[in-house]
Structures are given as structure tokens and as C-alpha cells.
């Protein structure tokens, strides 16, 4: 399984995840229509997302349909949350220092 951080590092893959989050499930051709690249390139991006566990696929007749599995994003959210708290505390401390200096 690939690292979800690497999987979401690419803007095209982030856009694919957003599309799947909004639509629920989409076929490759439906997603490829939103990009200036071919189906093969979009398929490669989806394969990376699938290897990271962020996307699940299923065959329906001749087409493959994809859906989001956001579970691996929990690790990303926890990492971002730590730094959000870190910067919030630093900014609050700076605000306090500036208020003390202005008084």
C-alpha cells in the first residue's frame, strides 16, 4: 500500500478524490472528461489512489466504477491537525505579546 501523503501530493489526484467525494461513484470515462489528458493517464492516477487505499473499484459490465474510501485520509487529517494547533498557539502567543507591547 502506498503512502496517502504521496497519493494526494498530485493536484490531479486531489481533484479526482473531490469528484468522487461529491458524486459517490464514477466511471473512468466520466472522470476523464474533466481533464485535458487521456483515459490512460487518468487511469494511472486512479491506480495510485487505489494502491494507497483511497479509492475502491468495481467492474460493471465493461466499465470500471470508482468510489472514495477516505479512511486513509485520517492519518493526513491527524498530521494537519497537529500543525494547525501548533500554528494557532503560536499566533495566539504573538497576539498576546503585541497586546502587551501596545499597552
Domain covering 1-70: architecture: Orthogonal Bundle (1.10)
| pLDDT tier, 102 (very low <50, low <70, confident <90, very high otherwise) | confident
- β-pairing verdict for 63-68 and 25-27: antiparallel
Question: CB 91: neighbour CB atoms within 10 A?
Answer: 10
| Average confidence (pLDDT) over 16-41 | 95
| pLDDT tier, 1 (very low <50, low <70, confident <90, very high otherwise) | low
Q: Is the pTM of this model over 0.85?
A: no
Q: For the chain, which residues make up each domain, given as ranges?
A: 1-70, 72-103
pLDDT at 86 over 70: yes
Whose cell is 479509492? That residue is 55
Q: How much is the mean pLDDT over the chain?
A: 92
Distance separating alpha carbons of residues 100 and 84, to the nearest angstrom = 24
Are 74 and 63 within 8 A, CB to CB?
A: no
What is the per-residue pLDDT across 31-77, written as a single tens digit (0 to 9) for each?
Answer: 999 999 999 999 999 999 999 999 999 999 999 999 999 999 888 88
Amino acid at each position: 500500500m502506498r503512502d496517502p501523503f504521496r497519493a494526494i501530493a498530485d493536484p490531479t489526484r486531489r481533484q479526482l478524490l473531490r469528484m468522487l467525494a461529491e458524486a459517490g461513484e464514477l466511471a473512468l470515462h466520466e472522470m476523464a472528461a474533466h481533464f485535458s489528458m487521456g483515459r490512460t493517464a487518468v487511469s494511472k492516477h486512479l491506480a495510485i489512489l487505489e494502491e494507497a487505499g483511497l479509492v475502491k473499484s468495481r467492474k460493471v459490465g465493461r466499465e470500471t466504477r470508482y468510489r472514495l474510501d477516505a479512511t486513509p485520509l485520517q492519518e493526513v487529517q491527524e498530521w494537519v491537525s497537529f500543525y494547525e494547533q501548533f500554528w494557532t498557539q503560536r499566533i495566539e502567543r504573538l497576539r498576546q505579546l503585541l497586546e502587551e507591547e501596545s499597552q
